[in-house]
Amino acid sequence: MHRLESLPFTSHYASLGADFGARLDPDGYEDARLVAFNPDVARLIGLDPNQAERSEMALFCGGAWLPTSSQPFAQVYAGHQFGGWSWRLGDGRGLLLGELTGSDGRGYDLHLKGAGLTPWSRMGDGRAVLRSTLREFIGGEALAALGIPSTRSLAFAVSSQPVQRESVEPGAMLLRLARTHIRFGSFEYFTHNQMPEQRDRLLSHVLERHFPETVGLSLAEGAAHFFRHAVASTAQMIAGWQSVGFVHGVMNTDNMSILGESFDFGPYAFLDAYDPEACPNHSDPQGRYRFSNQPAVGFWNLKCLAAALLPTLAKDDAIAALEDYATLYQVAWETRFAARLGFRRPSELSTSLAQAWLSLLTQNRADFHFCFRRLSLSSSAPDPELQDQIADSVALESWWQDWRQALSASGDDDETLNSRLDAVNPLYLPRSWILQEAIDAASSGDFRPVRDLLHRSQNPYAEIPGAAVYSRPPAPSQACSELSCSS
């Protein structure tokens, strides 16, 4: 295990040169205080978790101290934002500190978010606030614990330095971990700015770092392999979002990871009442990024990536990969929902039952997660609290009878079945009101609710003593409201 000062960063991306970004140091917080630390991520990157006790950890997370091997680099990219083209974006408040090799043998980026002004800050201040930093820290951990690929975070720190958003808020910084910080928009930037050589150099970098199986292939063959992976991983990621009621909120192409990790958490939300039209981003009045439209947006974004890879990516290869998207998504969706209903594998019957169940939840505005969790308490009849959620008792009883009859074919006893259901239907999710509770406490200097929320988010399935209130539907006053992009 490494000490902080001996973290062995490499700078493969930064070595690509000035066309790909800018080398600069963070504008650090000398008064940084560590809010939360993630020992699981520490162990993944080979960092001794005991290093969290050192004063340097807070300064590292606050950008005021760096290991000597780090060469911070702000990346340039472009993207389609709400469907409109933005030709030059880039890391406006973040710095890639370098790459590390994880204990699993994979390469990881460590990125400092909120690190100050860069050449791509535009009219911004280069800062992040406690509210958005906490939300991203928790959101990534929650998705990872639910089995959905996501960026994660090592730690985050807060400063007394004020930052102006909708109101004045405490400044904060986040140490984010990702397989890569290369986005769909990274390729778009070079293609649409007539820089094909740099685009192909970026592609070669991606293949070398993340697709070693392409060694010996031509660049065109490597591009086809990479794009097929992007299509499959994006389809599977979004099917995962849909299965847990996660609304990303701002699926711009510059917020889409080329490796299919949930990326750039902003105005996200986990659904309370099941509403396919839910859209938590108040900057999206047309509902482009509403929950029900996420699969279609994923496909649209992939077409943008394909266009950015042409002509190195052959048109026929792009079309063939894109034609697989709908099937890949549907298979992943059916597999996840079959599991949530207790089936060992998907079938036409399990898919039909899942669709009917979601219709029932929609029509009754029933709480998505609470109702799934109550299924394990519905062995002999629908659980009373499930009946409270679904007012149409006739429809509920009919669906429940069909569901239990279908499950009986497995031959499992009730105890086995209920254990299987509880292992895939979470008790604890970072609903909006729970996140706000932790934000309010942290803003007052009490970080314990953040750490408790981290523990629940990383352990969503098993009951935690004293945490029952966090497993129940919100009160009407606590239901998710619209959020800003600065969230």
What pLDDT, on the 0 to 100 scale, is given for residue 409? Answer: 86
Taking the C-alpha atoms of residue 23 and residue 31, their distance in angstroms, rounded to an integer, is 24
* Assigned domain for 245 exists: no
b or e along 356-384 (b: 16 or more beta carbons within 10 Å of the residue's beta carbon)?
ebeebbeebebbbbbbbbbbbbbeeebbe
The count of domains in the chain is: 2
Taking the C-alpha atoms of residue 151 and residue 108, their distance in angstroms, rounded to an integer, is 10
What pLDDT, on the 0 to 100 scale, is given for residue 124? Answer: 86
Taking the C-alpha atoms of residue 473 and residue 460, their distance in angstroms, rounded to an integer, is 15
Taking the C-alpha atoms of residue 221 and residue 234, their distance in angstroms, rounded to an integer, is 20
- Is the pLDDT score of 120 beyond 90? yes
Indicate the residue type of 345.
R
Range of the domain at 396: 343-422
What pLDDT, on the 0 to 100 scale, is given for residue 487? Answer: 54
* Assigned domain for 385 exists: yes
Taking the C-alpha atoms of residue 81 and residue 300, their distance in angstroms, rounded to an integer, is 12
The pairing of beta strand 152-164 with beta strand 168-178: antiparallel
User: Which residues lie closer than 8 Å to 170 by C-beta, 6 or more apart?
Assistant: 129, 130, 158, 159, 160, 161, 162, 163, 443
Indicate the residue type of 96.
L
Residue-wise pLDDT for 342-371, tens only, equals 999 999 999 999 999 999 999 999 999 999
Taking the C-alpha atoms of residue 298 and residue 316, their distance in angstroms, rounded to an integer, is 20
* Assigned domain for 47 exists: yes
Lookup: tokens for 33: 């205080």
Which of 182, 213, 241 is at the close of a domain? 182
Phi and psi at residue 171, to the nearest 5°: -75, 155
* Assigned domain for 127 exists: yes
Q: Which helix (H) or strand (E) holds 164?
A: strand 152-164
* SS3 of residue 23 by DSSP: strand
What pLDDT, on the 0 to 100 scale, is given for residue 370? Answer: 97
Q: Which residues are catalytic?
A: 254
* CA distances for 126 relative to 140, 173, 186, 303, 475, angstroms: 21, 11, 20, 31, 36
Neighbours of 76 (CB within 10 A): 21
Q: Which of 333, 302, 334 is nearest to 318 (CA)?
A: 302
Indicate the residue type of 400.
W
**Angle in degrees, 0-180, between the axes of helices 294-309 and 196-210, rounded to the nearest 10:** 120
DSSP string, 387-456: HHH---HHHHHHHHHHHHHHHHTT---HHHHHHHHHTTS-S----HHHHHHHHHHHHTT--HHHHHHHHH
Contact 16, 62 (CB under 8 A): no
* Assigned domain for 454 exists: no
Residue position matching structure tokens 């290991």: 67
* SS3 of residue 304 by DSSP: helix
Residue-wise pLDDT for 235-280, tens only, equals 999 999 999 999 999 999 999 999 999 999 989 999 999 999 999 9
**153 beta partners:** 176
* SS3 of residue 324 by DSSP: coil
Indicate the residue type of 386.
L
Lowest-confidence pick of 161-165, 287-291, 483-487: 483-487
Contact 426, 369 (CB under 8 A): yes
Confidence of residue 483 (pLDDT cuts 50, 70, 90): low
Which of 422, 439, 455 is at the close of a domain? 422
Residue position matching structure tokens 């997660």: 369
Strand (E) positions, 244-372?
Answer: 246-247, 269-270
Confidence of residue 380 (pLDDT cuts 50, 70, 90): confident
Residue-wise pLDDT for 386-417, tens only, equals 999 999 999 999 999 999 999 988 888 889 99
Taking the C-alpha atoms of residue 186 and residue 84, their distance in angstroms, rounded to an integer, is 16
Residue-wise pLDDT for 188-212, tens only, equals 999 999 999 999 999 999 999 999 9
Q: Which of 100, 108, 97 is nearest to 75 (CA)?
A: 97
Taking the C-alpha atoms of residue 178 and residue 269, their distance in angstroms, rounded to an integer, is 21
* Assigned domain for 279 exists: no
Which of 155, 182, 209 is at the close of a domain? 182
* Assigned domain for 409 exists: yes
Neighbours of 462 (CB within 10 A): 10
Confidence of residue 108 (pLDDT cuts 50, 70, 90): very high
* Assigned domain for 384 exists: yes
Residue-wise pLDDT for 40-78, tens only, equals 999 999 999 999 999 999 999 999 999 999 999 999 999
Task: Indicate the DSSP class of residue 248.
Answer: -
Lookup: tokens for 78: 């472009």
What pLDDT, on the 0 to 100 scale, is given for residue 372? Answer: 97
